[in-house]
Amino acid sequence: MAPVPVPHFHIRWSGKDSLDWQRFRTREEAAERARELARPQETYAIEEYSSECAYCQHYKMAATA
């Protein structure tokens, strides 16, 4: 049986092409952390990804290299 995809969330900061490295289990956790870290006038979007997130896969492979 194939593994069930597990969604997770990343923060995308305004003006940045890449995602924030940290992953969150819920949209609420990501939004709370973004509010804590946001600079004045900085905006962000919370984006949902599956367990096959290319961003996470890249860093998982880099960590084992």
Residue numbers of the domain that contains 16? 9-64
User: Residue 1's pLDDT is what?
Assistant: 58
Question: pTM (2 decimals)?
Answer: 0.73
Q: What is the dihedral of CA 15, 20, 25, 29, to 10 degrees?
A: -60
Our count of domains for the chain comes to 1
Whether 17 is in a domain gets the answer yes
Q: Look at the block and give the residue holding tokens 């990501």.
A: 30
Whether 29 is in a domain gets the answer yes
Whether 2 is in a domain gets the answer no
Secondary-structure percent of the chain, ordered helix, strand, coil, rounded to 5: 35, 20, 45
Whether 13 is in a domain gets the answer yes
Summarised one tens digit per residue, pLDDT across range 2-40 is: 555 678 999 999 988 877 878 899 999 999 999 999 999
